[in-house]
Structure 1
């Protein structure tokens, strides 16, 4: 089937991804300015905008993992490392895990970088308190922050990471050294200036907005699909959403299409969707439709 859609492949457009980065920077700066203004409403608005941009950065980073942002590999690396900093995402760790996810999806070996506990909703019968706890874990992304701390300790001890080659482990350590240095600098500036900059510009947007929003965006991709079935139409879901959400998720709403042709430029996923939409088994016309049906279920 992939061979039948070779005509959709186009050359990676550097200008397109550069424009995406500029828009992200613009909104991030606006959020930061608002978050530092006096008054509850501007600050709350700024925290929300910043948190959403942190989550959007993770979606842009996903494009660089596949080397689909820029034609130059090093440019993808630099952009990907920077985009992962707000949510403490190591580009190298994410890339290594994500490539295996594409390879192993549909098998018991499949693992994803972001661990939400009950990853795909196959937890079976559970008490209400357990269900509430599982959803709290998912939307707080506690596992992700715990993994970041664990990986930082591993980096400080100059140890390798389980399942990774020495080269990949060295790159993962590099990412964590950078994130630790930037966090230390941010805290130091806040303490030196006697302000709560690091709280308003990073901690609150991350914990209150970015984590839950990112979890919501990733939830539909494989949740309650046939994740032990190697057929991409069975183990993955596509959501045909509005232009705002297509921009915010950076095309990840077309997730069946992405898994079918992982190296297809993001901008071509809507065209692939037109070609295969009649074959989709897990499909929703929008995110609201997905979550409404999920809650009812």
Structure 2
């Protein structure tokens, strides 16, 4: 089955027809406005929290180790969320500034190539649900039948995934991206050494690498499954879920990243607008009746339960019918 861009267009077209006829199209358009100050604050917050975790651990030692690792891993995840927005050019109004911000402040610490990430991610959007062309397609009926833990363990411990957890996209970077990455790390390590000495440098590297492999990697392995696995390929609405908007989402899906169905229907929504957009989109019947998980790990409406059961099948005519109501 080839779920190319036609499914995205059909779902989005039905949404916009309903939005125009029911008076909320202007609100959705307004939410697509890029806000450079929101981006600047998000980046500053991520860096400040990483620095705070380092500072507290340097002063308190082992007492702060576990909280520091959890916080740094969470902020590493947050940086990748912003890289995701940068791949859609949503950080600010200028495309050139968007890419410069990503290439100098977001991608180097996470060892990510913006050009490679953008290519893979846009292919995912264009071919959502296509086993051959969707770069994030992980839907495996045989594996799902074994339960959510087996599904997660396979992703977590896959050899290529573990390699990426350690080395990111270094092997696929352009020479310019490698130079920028090396420059960022040279400046960062020099700054840490100046502030805390050689002992602080060792502590920073130990915290960063351990958090990347032991916290960030388990989180991203969970997230990449949770976006689509267990649903019904066919349309954006049938094959994409929203995640809980609770306290745990701040750890697993920082920067509003859990509203994944809203993102696929409207890829032009910046991270800071997703929560508000979700509330507006609930006026559209197919969106309201889609897969919205209440918790992550417990109960019939949890994310892991959703992995292992099929939602009812949607058809494109049904979407068109509901859009005209």
Shorter-normalised TM range: 0.7 to 0.9
- Which whole-Å CA distance do the structure 2 matches of 1:87 and 1:142 have between them? 19
- Which whole-Å CA distance do the structure 1 matches of 2:42 and 2:156 have between them? 26
**Partner in structure 1 of residue 237 of structure 2:** 233
**Partner in structure 2 of residue 56 of structure 1:** 78
Gaps of 5+ in 1: 156-171
Contact preservation (8 Å) 1:233, 1:256: yes
- Which whole-Å CA distance do the structure 1 matches of 2:160 and 2:69 have between them? 23
Bigger radius of gyration: 2
Secondary structure, counterpart of 2:44 in structure 1: helix
User: Which of residues 94, 97, 120 is equivalent to 2:117?
Assistant: 94
- Which whole-Å CA distance do the structure 1 matches of 2:221 and 2:123 have between them? 20
Gaps of 5+ in 2: 1-13, 20-24, 310-325
Alignment of 1:199-218 (within 5 A): 199-218=205-224
User: Which of residues 139, 145, 148 is equivalent to 1:120?
Assistant: 139
Contact preservation (8 Å) 1:47, 1:204: yes
Per-residue CA deviation, residues 35-94 of structure 1 (Å, 9 max, x unaligned), is 333421212222221111001111122112111121111221123222233332221111
- Give the superposition deviation at 1:185: 7.3
Which structure has more relative contact order (CA 8 Å, sep 6+)? It is 2
Alignment of 1:167-246 (within 5 A): 172-180=174-182, 182=184, 193=198, 196-227=202-233, 229=234, 231-242=235-246, 245=249
Aligned length: 271
- Which whole-Å CA distance do the structure 2 matches of 1:296 and 1:104 have between them? 23
- Which whole-Å CA distance do the structure 2 matches of 1:220 and 1:293 have between them? 10
Secondary structure, counterpart of 2:141 in structure 1: coil
Secondary structure, counterpart of 1:112 in structure 2: coil
Runs of 4+ off more than 6 Å:
125-128, 184-190
- Give the superposition deviation at 1:237: 1.0
Alignment of 1:79-90 (within 5 A): 79-81=101-103, 82-90=105-113
